[in-house]
Amino acid sequence: MKALVFELFGGPEVLQYREIATPLCRPDGVLVKVESIGVNYADIYRRKGNYHLAGDPPYILGYEGAGVVAEAGSQVKDLRPGDRICFADVPYANAEYIFVPADHAIPLPDGISFDTAAAVMLQGLTAQYLTRDSFPVKEGDTAVVHAAAGGVGQILIQIIKLLGGRVIGLTSSDNKSAAALKAGADEVFLYEEDWVAAVQAATGGRGADAVFDSVGSTLAQSFSALRTGGTAVFYGMAGGDPLPVDPRMLMDQSKTLTGGDLWNVLTSKEERIKRSAELFQWILSGLIVIQPPAIFPLADGQEAHELLESRKSTGKILLKP
């Protein structure tokens, strides 16, 4: 099979499209012919050597995607060749075929395309747990969403709105502001302005109920944008590590800091299917609209990585074998 691999850590130029052995179908899972693959910042971190990689080179990136079952293992009873499935947390997706453990295979309902599934599994399920578990959004809440034009950001905006909340988005450019407003944000401020003061003014000096911070280096400012008793949800470090948080400040201002990681949420087959079902239902009912992704052939993986790393993209980037 063909796959996008790398042997040395570095920039997009280390990625190579070449022939490697097709994985075997083990008894406890299915061999999947991959139709669409999601590209994420975690792929860049792994390519650079910032995240741990198991095994020996050549390494294969990619953790989410969708495709068709080509072969089912002898222990698998509920999946068969021809079934459409997707996955959110299975390694080695940047290839024509992937082995997916049965517990990680999520049935794909009619009406959800391979591209839509690959575009929303990681980002959509992240937005789902952030608003259901990390900070359960309720009617009337005001939430600030960092990187509001990104893949998670646009879905977060829509989920907060459908749960009855008000959204203040933060972006780095007018073009990205337009994308956040299109997704449903009530107001959007630029990082180059005094956005903390803007959030305070927009909330009548009260502050936001919650701030969803995926930038990291902005965490101290996020606390300043919160009301007394508000919650900062920290789930990413796209802009660098945050400064240490003073627990005395948390006590004095009755504020909460909570973290989130999707891998701590997708802990069983039941959780994967239940959470995906809610996400898919939102999409099928039109409550969440997924913007058309940027699509690259798997052979052009270098270009896809360059686009994501440039921070000029809005929405999702996909690879197609």
pLDDT in tens, 80-117: 999 999 999 999 999 999 999 999 999 999 999 999 99
The verdict on whether omega for the bond into residue 58 sits within 30 degrees of 0, i.e. cis, is: yes
pLDDT, residue 91, reads 93
pLDDT digits (tens, 9 = 90+) for 261-293: 898 999 999 999 999 999 999 999 999 999 889
Residue 265: CA count within 13 A, CB half-sphere: 23
Residue 125: what pLDDT? 96
pLDDT of residue 313: 73
- Specify the 3-state DSSP secondary structure of 152: helix
**C-alpha distances out from residue 242 to 85, 136, 237, Å:** 37, 23, 8
The pLDDT score that the predictor gives to residue 304 is 96
Whether 53 shows a pLDDT value over 80: the answer reads no
Nearest partner of 11 among 308, 292, 218, 213, judged by Cα: 308
Which part of the chain is CATH 3.90.180.10?
Answer: 2-120+264-320
Q: H or E element: which one contains 106?
A: strand 106-107
DSSP state of 205: T
The length of the chain, given as a count of residues: 321
Which residue spans of the chain are classified as CATH 3.40.50.720?
139-259
Structure tokens at 61: 């990136």
- CATH fold of 2-120+264-320 reads Quinone Oxidoreductase; Chain A, domain 1 (3.90.180)
Domain spanning 139-259: which superfamily? Answer: NAD(P)-binding Rossmann-like Domain (3.40.50.720)
Residues 6+ away with beta carbon under 8 Å from 78? 102
Q: What single DSSP character describes residue 95? A: B
- Mean pLDDT in residue range 71-85: 97
